[in-house]
């Protein structure tokens, strides 16, 4: 059964201090903290006029696009940041940055290092047992944090006993 989709028209004001460009369904917002880029589906009719973006499409896609654009504006102005903490019981975990990867050594006493990818323009700082992940794109920062947590996921052991890993604290 095919249901009719409600078509809506949404508008978003972009602050004047941000530079905005839109071409081929690709929206680019540049600000103090960096540049954020996102490609939107062709089912949405988007236009940019004088720091105002008009979105015309079905209600679900239009509302999703509005939320993405608000996140892009916030990221270009202030950026996003997450803090992680390294926890271990016996084997001290050491972290190093290599190109666009984080190398995790001595996790649970393993000889072979584990790696986590850094996505997009995300910056990673390692300060002792704390990791600060920051960047203009909320999606890239979140994916980088997920990659780090996934790289230290313990399989085939009881998680109540083996609590070593890297955990998000802020």
Domains of the chain in sequence order? 7-77 (3.90.930.12), 80-168 (3.90.930.12)
Residues in the chain: 170
Burial class (CB in 10 A: 0-12, 13-18, 19+), 169: exposed
Position 4 scores a pLDDT of 67
- Sign for the CA dihedral angle at 48, 51, 54, 55 comes to positive
pLDDT per residue as tens, the chain (170 positions): 566 688 899 999 999 999 999 888 899 999 999 999 999 999 899 999 988 999 999 999 999 999 999 999 999 999 999 999 999 998 999 999 999 999 999 998 999 999 999 999 999 999 999 999 999 999 999 999 999 999 999 888 887 888 888 999 98
Query: How many whole angstroms separate alpha carbon 123 and alpha carbon 4?
Result: 44
Cα–Cα distance, 121 to 115 (Å, whole number): 18
Residue 117 to residue 96: CA distance in whole angstroms: 12
Buried b (16+ CB within 10 A) or exposed e, 90-117: eeebebeeeeebbebeebbeeeebbebe
Return the pLDDT at 6: 87
Q: State pTM to two decimals.
A: 0.89
Please check whether residue 86 is in contact with residue 130, taking contact to mean a CB–CB distance below 8 angstroms.
yes
- Per the CB < 8 A criterion, the answer to whether 71 and 140 are in contact is no
């Amino acid at each position: 059964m095919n249901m009719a989709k409600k078509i809506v028209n949404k508008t978003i004001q972009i602050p004047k201090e941000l530079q905005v460009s839109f071409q081929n369904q690709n929206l680019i917002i540049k600000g103090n903290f960096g540049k954020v880029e996102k490609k939107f589906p062709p089912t949405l009719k988007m236009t940019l006029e004088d720091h105002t973006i008009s979105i015309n499409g079905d209600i679900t896609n239009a509302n999703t696009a509005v939320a993405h654009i608000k996140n892009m504006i916030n990221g270009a102005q202030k950026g996003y940041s997450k803090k992680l903490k390294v926890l271990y019981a016996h084997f001290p975990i050491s972290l190093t940055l290599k190109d666009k990867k984080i190398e995790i050594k001595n996790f649970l006493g393993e000889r072979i290092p584990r790696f986590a990818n850094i996505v997009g323009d995300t910056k990673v700082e390692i300060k002792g047992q704390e990791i600060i992940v920051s960047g203009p794109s909320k999606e890239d920062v979140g994916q980088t944090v997920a990659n780090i947590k996934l790289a230290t996921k313990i399989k085939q052991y009881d998680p109540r006993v083996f609590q070593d890993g890297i955990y998000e604290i802020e």
